Chains A and B, each alone.
Chain A
Amino acid sequence: MIQLKVNHAAHSFDGDPEMPLLWYLRDILGLTGAKYGCGVGLCGACTVHQNGEAIRSCLTPVKAAAGSEIATIEGLGAQGLHPVQKAWMAHNVPQCGYCQAGQIMQAVALLKQKPRPTDQDIDHLMAGNICRCGTYQRIRGAIKAAAGEIA
């Protein structure tokens, strides 16, 4: 039996411990904010936080999340919109929007690591998140704006 917390709520799981966290969140818990994009950690659409750090949930077996605190996009704005979400809206970042939950979760983690990110920091820490619609320029702008808000 695997015990873990998702968005502060306690859960236990007795299914296949090798199941990636992504599918546990989506198919078992019904939390569909984290998205499937590639299944092999190449696109970042599945990004969630484990104990505050960005991870690729498609590569993380549920057993590796045992005992930890998982946060998804659904939990991020639970107490009102996070500054990164607000910046995303103010900059009209999304087009189709499918990758944006992952982008936002990655950006939130980035700003914890680099509260005043340079373009190089953003290139480095966001390069794992693909956006097929090509919203990168707005992502860059929104991250910088959110950095100003948070700092």
Chain B
Amino acid sequence: MSRIWNLSRRGFLQGVVSTGAFVLGIRLVPEALWADAPGPADPLSSTAFHPNVFVGLEPDGTVVIVAARSEMGTGSRTSLPAIVADEMEADWRRVRVEQAIGDAKYGEQNTDGSHSVRSFFGAMRETGASARTMLVQAGAEQWNVPVSECEASLHTVIHRPSGRSAGYGSLAAAAAKLPVPAKESLKLKPRSAWRYIGKDASFYDLESICTGKPLYGMDAQVDGMVYASIEHPPVLGGKVASCDDTDALKLPGVRQTVTIDPFKPPHQFQPLGGVAVIADNTWAAFQGRQKLKINWDNGPNAVYESKAFRKEMEDTARKPCKVALNRGDVDAEFGKGGKVLESEYYVPHLAHASMEPPVALAHYRDGKVEAWAPTQDPQAVQETVGKVLGIPKENVICHVTLLGGGFGRKSKPDYVAEAAVLSKKVGRPVKVVWTREDDIKFGYYHSVAAMYLKAALGENGMPTAWLQRSVFPPIGSTFELNKTYGDGGELGMGWTDIPFAVANLRAENGPATAHVRIGWFRSVANIYHAFAVQSFADELAHAAGRDSVEYLLALIGPDRVIEKKALPADYDNMGGAYDDYPIDTARLRRVTEIAAEQAGWGKRKLQPGQGMGIAVHRSFLTYVATVVQVQMDDKGKVHIGRVDTAADLGLIVSPANVRNQFEGAAVFGASLALCSEITASGGVINQSNFQDYRLCRINEAPAEIHVHLVESDAPPAGAGEPGVPPFAPALCNAIFAATGRRIRELPLTRSNLV
């Protein structure tokens, strides 16, 4: 539900558009708050007024669209404004995109969960259509002709009978005085008239990126700034016992050192603590750090040993755990005897390793902070900086730069808080630059996970009972002390929403204690859950002596929509209304068939050492199937050949961008499947840079990635994340097909296959 206001001359976009501009703002009301809608009659009279979208029209015809969501490569800074421009009949070449600062007036701004287009598609269209309708009315009034004789076309209002026309800019002042049309009266453009939606508006920042313009947090500069590099406690929760900075201070360019207080548990987004070296340039700050002599008090997390922890998690998963979903009677079915298959799977911690490490510039002055940061969540910056410095969050201005990759890491603004704390201490703007080593050693890691699966096999090898247990230190441990169980969100990612037609099915979750910071990572819990479920499905197919695709389709079963009541009460469907986004097995079947067909499944002649594997997974409300082809070389190493990914994400705003996201997801999936892994010894992370936290390079990436997008009128769903989860199981299933060797742990370096 939404409502639009005419905010011209109300100062809402002060500094962004001129005072003579025509400005509309729209407020989206979440389903849960519909009772409170439609909100106050005069938006400025209420502090609760939080419009999410703004569009402005300058008298010179420039259309200004405010991007309130962060751009980290997923294209939202282009796709969302393109929707507004399309409905407005604006000329894309005359659109200027302004990045919003962090401010509650924009509503929720955390760019995560692959939901920017999904959540704002309708609102963007209504905003654009309202602006267009008002401009047409302004034109009709100016010529004193009926509105029905006028229309908008590419930045111009035209009076059809007389051929008179007026540019949008010339109508801005008149439109600014008109009331907003009732939502029911809006005429949205038919799909056939779309100019940009479903076409390909060029990536807004494309040329700036290709010419090396200063766009990123790493590039931010202000007068008088100094640079900081921080030696963090090697173990989470560790404290500085003593620090000798004598040698560091002798280096040219090093100004001072500052000890940062340790966090108060739970750590949330607070700075980790440690010792910062403040210097005249980044290099001097890095050099100074190496001269620090620090004794650490490591604290209780020094017990963390990845090997032992894995065993602990596996032991937990072998015993009954907390039931998250229960259908039929699994125990009775297992009690009947007969053929049973059991398997265990393991996925390690992963680091986001965005190419731009965490970096932020902040300036503290007179109880206020101005920050420039590559952040997915500028309001979390306001809250965290406010809390850490003890100032109201309204006193924190956060400018959002482009992000050199985010993948979930940059939803956590600990690094921005560090810059703010240091700026207050040194009395100047401070730019905190994390080294790659800092990024790898002090992440908010993707959770390590152990899974146990068991099935009883009946007629034709189909499962009559299916039991699955997953154990992982939950993301909740970052926010709450002693949190050891996953929540409905994590378990709803490929575990309790398992779409297979099995009469007796139980999904469980066991406890695990976090000893490092755990956080969202592109695709989140779907990664380990899809790996276990889709690998196990392939194991069952093999046990049944059936073709993997044919068996997978049989597991998906007849086309049906899974009823909401068949899912746990806390299943959140990624915030999507279940009626709009139900689990529809027909869509799952269709992408499976398309991926198999396009890959030439069962038709392509495979040579010795070659194999094909398939996996299918619904996440972020999008249905994705991936077929991977592999070639084993004479040393027994795997090479990824062709990849076919079929995706059904409903209506697609920017197909070129979506293809890019799915191509990238295959490479991201290849990295985590082949070679990425974070481990700890004595609570210290063992990896440090790209030599031991490995990412896929061009020569290791899939040789060809073919993305097949399903044309659909269904509501838009996620694009950034859902391509990742099916990749690793499809790859491992292909290795099984090629070699007969079943891989149950990631990455493949562990199995000597890389």
- Listed in ascending order, the chain A residues whose CB lies under 8 Å from chain B are 15-16, 19-20, 23, 26-28, 30, 32-40, 42-43, 45, 72-74, 76-77, 81, 85, 88-89, 92-101, 104, 122-124, 126-140
Contacts and interface: CB of A to CB of B under 8 A. Distances in A.
Interface string B629-644: 0000000000000000
A91 to B, nearest CB: 10
Nearest to A30: B221
B701 A42 contact: no
Interface string B695-713: 1111101101100000000
B282 A133 contact: no
B281 interface: yes
A40 B435 CA distance: 10
Contacts of B698: 122-123, 126-127, 129, 131, 136, 139-140
Which 7 A/B pairs are nearest by Cβ-Cβ distance? A134-B667, A33-B212, A98-B404, A96-B73, A73-B212, A95-B73, A97-B209
B355 A39 contact: no
Which range holds the interface residue count of chain B? Answer: 35 or more
A66 B284 CA distance: 20
A138 B211 CA distance: 17
Contact of B355 (A16, A85, A99): A99
Contacts of A99: 355, 404
Contacts of B435: 39
A72 B253 contact: no
B697 to A, nearest CB: 5
Contacts of B704: 137
A9 B73 CA distance: 33
Nearest to B668: A134
A37 B73 contact: no
Contacts of B34: none
B219 to A, nearest CB: 4
Contacts of A85: 210-211
A96 B656 contact: no
B660 A92 contact: yes
Contact of B211 (A16, A77, A132): A77
A97 B701 contact: no
Contacts of B705: 137
A89 B283 contact: no
Contacts of B284: 16
Contact of A135 (B75, B656, B663): B663
B212 A92 contact: no
Nearest to B661: A95
A138 B355 contact: no
A127 B433 CA distance: 26
Given A32-B214, A135-B660, A136-B701, A130 B405 contact: no
B218 to A, nearest CB: 6
B281 A19 contact: yes
B433 to A, nearest CB: 7
B528 interface: no
Contacts of A138: 660, 663
A134 B74 contact: no
B696 A134 contact: yes
A139 to B, nearest CB: 7
A85 B212 CA distance: 10
A36 B218 contact: yes
Interface in B234-293: 252-253, 281-284, 286
A100 B209 contact: yes
A132 B353 contact: yes
B578 interface: no
Q: Which of B402, B404, B702, B704: most chain A CB closer than 10 A? A: B404
